[in-house]
């Protein structure tokens, strides 16, 4: 059923198809038919960051930026869903076109630019969700906020998301907000994460509940830089790391008509680099700090590779676009 659906959508402009597909899923969910797409929901709980995830398969941030499709996506069997990236103020993102399919490579290039309706609109929707799995909120900074003031944007989003999220992810690795990746430098990341951890402690006291705090990093970092980030994560006491975001490398898609398009490349070409970051982080952090593996999971064996590299949970995005709910079933069979 999804194959036929995808063939129709892939005839359309990628961004238009994205919105039409999600609206279609919402319609099916409203009619009580969404489970037809994946009737075999995987129930194998995983304990991570003090939370109980119904299963280890998550939907990565970016697909549902504004939390409009949480319940519909939940019907497909995801153990956790991450919404966002969200910013303090609404922003339209980068000019179109900004989304490109590289079908021959099972890949996507996007330069969306944190287009979203703002944290207040997201919180309102998240509060109304019926989905019973774990819900993460991925937070970022507005494009016009200079890096030296970025902490204020992250603090605003953390404060507003804290009461309604199960965990919060700090996105400092998107290549589509100018200068954002500079926050991954040792001095910058230590200062930012340290301040967010202080606020997390204050919010725990205020709300009487502990919400884990994770950080999402890029696949393009040198091994030494990944090790350094791992040591900082340990030092400041982050609850986990999401590895990884999209890549700016075009080596794997060289010669493709869209290879020179600016933006982050996701899908099959990022699999190996992402897995290597997972492996490095797991070596540095051991079992104390979980790693969520994401990047290039197009089949069940790809997910198992992430787990074998040390990931506790995995997330999918581009693989889900290309494979649909069938991918979730493959992952279940490969990782059970």
Task: Answer yes or no: 174 catalytic.
Answer: yes
Instruction: Pick the catalytic residue from 173, 174, 274, 282.
Output: 174
Q: Is 255 exposed, middle or buried (0-12, 13-18, 19+ CB in 10 A)?
A: exposed
Q: Cα 106 from chain centroid?
A: 18
Range of the domain at 323: 2-335
CATH classification at residue 6: 3.20.20.70
d(CA 253, CA 276): 19
Domain count, the chain: 1
**Closest to 219 (Cα-Cα) out of 301, 177, 278, 286:** 278
Q: Which residues are registered as beta bridge partners of 291?
A: 241
Q: Which residues are registered as beta bridge partners of 213?
A: 168
pLDDT tens string 49-59: 999 999 999 99
What are the tokens at 309?
């590299």
d(CA 290, CA 275): 14
CB proximity list for 293: less than 8 A, separation 6 or greater:
243, 274, 275, 278, 303, 306, 307, 309, 311, 313, 314, 315
The whole-number pLDDT of residue 239 equals 97
The whole-number pLDDT of residue 178 equals 83
pLDDT tens string 290-336: 999 999 999 999 999 999 999 999 999 999 999 988 999 999 999 98
Per-residue pLDDT of the chain (336 residues; tens, 9 = 90+): 677 778 888 989 999 999 999 998 888 888 877 667 665 678 899 999 999 999 999 999 999 999 999 999 998 999 999 999 999 999 999 999 999 999 999 999 999 999 999 999 999 999 999 999 999 999 999 999 999 999 999 999 999 999 999 999 999 988 889 888 888 887 888 999 999 999 999 999 999 999 999 999 999 999 999 999 999 999 999 999 999 999 999 999 999 999 999 999 999 999 999 999 999 999 999 988 999 999 999 999 999 999 999 999 999 999 999 998 899 999 999 998
pLDDT tens string 96-112: 999 999 999 999 999 99
Scanning 179-316, the segments in alpha helix (DSSP H) are 186-207, 223-236, 271-285, 300-308
């Amino acid at each position: 059923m999804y194959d036929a659906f995808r063939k129709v959508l892939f005839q359309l402009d990628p961004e238009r198809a994205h919105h039409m597909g999600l609206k279609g899923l919402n319609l099916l969910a409203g009619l009580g038919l969404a489970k037809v797409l994946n009737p075999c929901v995987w129930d194998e709980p995983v304990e991570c960051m003090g939370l109980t995830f119904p299963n280890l398969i998550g939907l990565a941030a970016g697909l549902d930026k504004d939390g409009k499709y949480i319940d519909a996506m939940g019907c497909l069997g995801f153990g956790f869903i991450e919404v966002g990236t969200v910013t303090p103020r609404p922003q339209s993102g980068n000019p179109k076109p900004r989304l490109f399919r590289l079908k021959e490579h099972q890949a996507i290039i996007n330069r969306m630019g944190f287009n979203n309706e703002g944290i207040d609109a997201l919180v309102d929707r998240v509060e109304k969700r019926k989905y019973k799995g774990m819900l993460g909120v991925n937070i970022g900074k507005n494009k016009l906020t200079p890096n030296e003031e970025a902490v204020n944007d992250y603090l605003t989003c953390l404060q507003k998301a804290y009461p309604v999220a199960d965990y919060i992810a700090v996105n400092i690795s998107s290549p589509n907000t100018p200068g954002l990746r500079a926050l991954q430098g040792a001095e910058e990341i230590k200062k930012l994460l340290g301040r967010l951890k202080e606020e997390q402690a204050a919010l725990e006291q205020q709300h009487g509940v502990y919400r884990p705090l994770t950080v999402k990093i890029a696949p393009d970092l040198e091994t030494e830089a990944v090790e350094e980030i791992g040591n900082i994560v340990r030092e400041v006491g982050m609850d986990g790391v999401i590895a990884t975001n999209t890549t700016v490398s075009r080596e794997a898609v060289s010669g493709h008509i869209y290879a020179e398009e600016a933006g982050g490349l996701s899908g099959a070409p990022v699999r190996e680099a992402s897995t290597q970051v997972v492996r490095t982080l797991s070596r540095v952090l051991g079992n104390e700090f979980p790693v969520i593996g994401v990047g290039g999971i197009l089949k069940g064996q790809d997910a198992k590779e992430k787990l074998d590299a040390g990931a506790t949970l995995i997330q999918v995005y581009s693989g889900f676009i290309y494979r649909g709910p069938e991918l979730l079933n493959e992952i279940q069979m490969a990782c059970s």
